[in-house]
Amino acid sequence: MTAVSTNQTARFSARRIYSVPLGCKVSRIDAAALADSVEGGEAALAGPGDADVLLVHGCAVTDRAERDGRRLVRRLRRANPRATLVVSGCLAERAGGSLARMPEVDLVVSLAARGALPEILDAHAAGLLPGRIVTAADAARAALFAMPAAGRPLEALIDPDRTRAFLKIQDGCERRCAFCVVPSLRGKERSARIEDVVDAVRRLGDAGVPEVVLAGVHLAAFGHDRGTRLVDLLARLEADPPACRVRLSSLEPMEAGDELVDLVASSRVVVPHLHLPLQSGSLSVLKRMRRGIVPARYRALAERAARANPRLHLATDLIAGFPGETDADFAETCRFVEDLPFASLHVFPFSPRGGTDAAAWHLENPLASGVLTERTRALRRIGAAKARAFAARAAGTTAEIVTLRGNRGLTDHYLEVSLELPPEGRLPGRRLQTRLVSGAAGMPLEAHPC
């Protein structure tokens, strides 16, 4: 994927760059924009061996993510010993000192300094940098991954075939979940201006992009720092629809609220898909997690969404085996999840992240690995059954799809389908109304002409 600005921006000296983003959608958007500024609009490279710059935009949300980043650094250095190897992203913020001691790494660029990467590379080539770690002034650190200033265009991550665009409209998180390090890495919550987001979405739609995904580290908090709300942004888009459809990334459920759920369920612009992370269905576990979620309130929100639009795809995240989770807690989670109208579950076994309260609790009373594995499998079995049921209900209905590469399509309610369409209907990046039919083996669904 490449970073595409919704306006023309200044280009810096061109370098061939090989960029690898790790982690969430926001990380991918940031990494692509960073690579684009260095690359100066050159075509993407086929591989790391020809690059002048190797950029690892690392993730630090778990210990495993950090290890994966370090392994990637070593692998890229073996593939290209002569390139300048740069590590940025949350990984650089979390573990800058130890990364700088790796012989494979040339530069560790902090989040606050990332906007000056082209100039940093020039200074490095000229031997003007005092060390491998590059930071901004303390004042600039308060604006980690700051949104573009007024008048400067938002950047979008666009698929090469223009099938979907990911637009970062919010950054930062001020929650303090017991298992998460993101708030310490991403800083305070910051939002783009509503008018800038509306303009960016409209430009992307006019350019032929059929779907724009609005992304953020804490998307439900969009606008709070400016005295506005996410629902205000969506209402603006609803009042004057762009040429593309709009999808929301993950939302904190208690902050999403009834008004936002109702808008998504009935919208002409925003597709019927809500990802509301739960993590546990046990009230005692949620309290230890510091999630701020009350199961009864979550249930009411989920059921409200399903009543308002039975087609709506409701997804959630779950952590199996959180420290202190008893057999009774886990059984409560299973009952809660089975009762609710979920279409998909994203299940993760608990993984301790150094420096968090949850990691300390895990050390005090670790859960047996066999129990962790079985709880993860049990939740995934529930998720698989719910996904099958949701897809089965969609068979025989009509749905708008966006065509993807590989003869695939994505419905408005977030089902991947195979395409049984005329050749011109299979071209990536088209937006079509189709009839959904069960595949030969019941799965996956097939999209046929209406």
Domain finish residue from 141, 169, 201: 141
Q: What would the mean pLDDT of 95-105 be, rounded to a whole number? A: 89
Checking if the pLDDT of 404 tops 70, the result is yes
Tell whether 91 is covered by a domain.
Answer: yes
**CATH number, residue 56:** 3.40.50.12160
Checking if the pLDDT of 438 tops 50, the result is yes
The per-residue pLDDT for 220 is 92
Q: Print burial letters for 142-160: b (CB count within 10 Å at least 16), e (below 16).
A: ebbbbbbeeeebbbbbbbe
Domain of 127 in residue numbering reads as: 2-141
- In terms of domains, do 324 and 248 share one? yes
Tokens of 342: 């979920």
- In terms of domains, do 115 and 241 share one? no
Tell whether 146 is covered by a domain.
Answer: no
Lowest pLDDT segment from 89-98, 143-152, 380-389: 143-152
Q: Which residue has the higher pLDDT, 439 or 362?
A: 362
Lowest pLDDT segment from 29-38, 48-57, 363-372: 29-38
Q: Give the residues across from 5 on adjacent strands.
A: 155
Checking if the pLDDT of 92 tops 60, the result is yes
pLDDT digits (tens, 9 = 90+) for 25-45: 777 777 777 777 665 544 345
Q: Which residue reads 């999840």 in tokens?
A: 337
Tell whether 148 is covered by a domain.
Answer: no
SS (H, E, C) the chain: CEEEECCCCCCCCCCCEEEEECCCHHHHHHHHHHHHHHHCCCCCCCCHHHCCEEEEEECCCCHHHHHHHHHHHHHHHHHCCCCEEEEEHHHHHHHHHHHHCCCCCCEEECHHHHHHHHHHHHHHHCCCCCCCEECCCHHHHCCCCCCCCCCCCCEEEECCCCCCEEEEEEECCCCCCCCCCHHHHHCCCEECCHHHHHHHHHHHHHCCCCEEEEEECCHHHCCHHHCCCHHHHHHHHHHCCCCCEEEECCCCHHHHHHHHHHHHHHCCCECCEEECCCECCCHHHHHHHCCCCCHHHHHHHHHHHHHHCCCCEEEEEEEECCCCCCHHHHHHHHHHHHHCCCCEEEEEECCCCCCCHHHHHHHHCCCCHHHHHHHHHHHHHHHHHHHHHHHHHHCCCEEEEEEECCCEEEECCCCEEEECCCHHHHCCCCEEEEEEEECCCCCCEEEEEC
Number of domains in the chain: 3
Percent share of the chain, pLDDT over 70: 85
Question: CA 141 to CA 149: how far, in whole Å?
Answer: 16
**CATH number, residue 200:** 3.80.30.20
- In terms of domains, do 103 and 234 share one? no
Domain finish residue from 370, 392, 414: 392
Q: Which residue has the higher pLDDT, 193 or 11?
A: 193
**CATH number, residue 432:** 2.40.50
The per-residue pLDDT for 161 is 62
- In terms of domains, do 6 and 71 share one? yes
pLDDT digits (tens, 9 = 90+) for 230-241: 999 999 999 999
The per-residue pLDDT for 360 is 92
Tell whether 336 is covered by a domain.
Answer: yes
Tell whether 174 is covered by a domain.
Answer: yes
Tell whether 149 is covered by a domain.
Answer: no
- In terms of domains, do 263 and 330 share one? yes
Lowest pLDDT segment from 208-212, 342-346, 371-375: 208-212
Tokens of 378: 């049990």
- In terms of domains, do 263 and 166 share one? yes
Domain finish residue from 80, 106, 141: 141
- In terms of domains, do 169 and 20 share one? no
The per-residue pLDDT for 8 is 27
- In terms of domains, do 338 and 196 share one? yes
Residue 47 pLDDT level (bands cut at 50, 70, 90)? confident
The per-residue pLDDT for 126 is 59
Percent share of the chain, pLDDT over 90: 54
DSSP secondary structure of 325-366: --HHHHHHHHHHHHHS--SEEEEEE----TTSHHHHHHHHSP
pLDDT digits (tens, 9 = 90+) for 131-170: 788 765 422 332 333 344 444 556 677 766 668 888 889 9
The per-residue pLDDT for 165 is 87
Q: Which residue has the higher pLDDT, 339 or 19?
A: 339
Tell me the H-state helices in 240-325. Answer: 253-266, 283-289, 295-308
Q: Which residue reads 């665009």 in tokens?
A: 165
Q: What would the mean pLDDT of 423-443 be, rounded to a whole number? A: 85
Q: At 190, is the secondary structure helix, strand, or coil?
A: strand
- In terms of domains, do 121 and 232 share one? no
- In terms of domains, do 131 and 110 share one? yes
The per-residue pLDDT for 41 is 43
Mean residue pLDDT of the chain comes to 85
Contact 54, 21 (CB under 8 A): no
Tell whether 147 is covered by a domain.
Answer: no
The per-residue pLDDT for 139 is 24
Lowest pLDDT segment from 164-168, 180-184, 244-248, 252-256: 180-184
Nearest to 53 by CA among 71, 39, 37: 39
The per-residue pLDDT for 155 is 63
Q: What would the mean pLDDT of 205-234 be, rounded to a whole number? A: 92
Quick one: CA torsion of 382, 383, 385, 386, rounded to 10 degrees?
120
Q: What would the mean pLDDT of 297-308 be, rounded to a whole number? A: 95
Q: What would the mean pLDDT of 258-275 be, rounded to a whole number? A: 95
Q: What would the mean pLDDT of 338-359 be, rounded to a whole number? A: 92
pLDDT digits (tens, 9 = 90+) for 391-403: 999 999 999 999 9
- In terms of domains, do 22 and 83 share one? yes
Tell whether 406 is covered by a domain.
Answer: yes
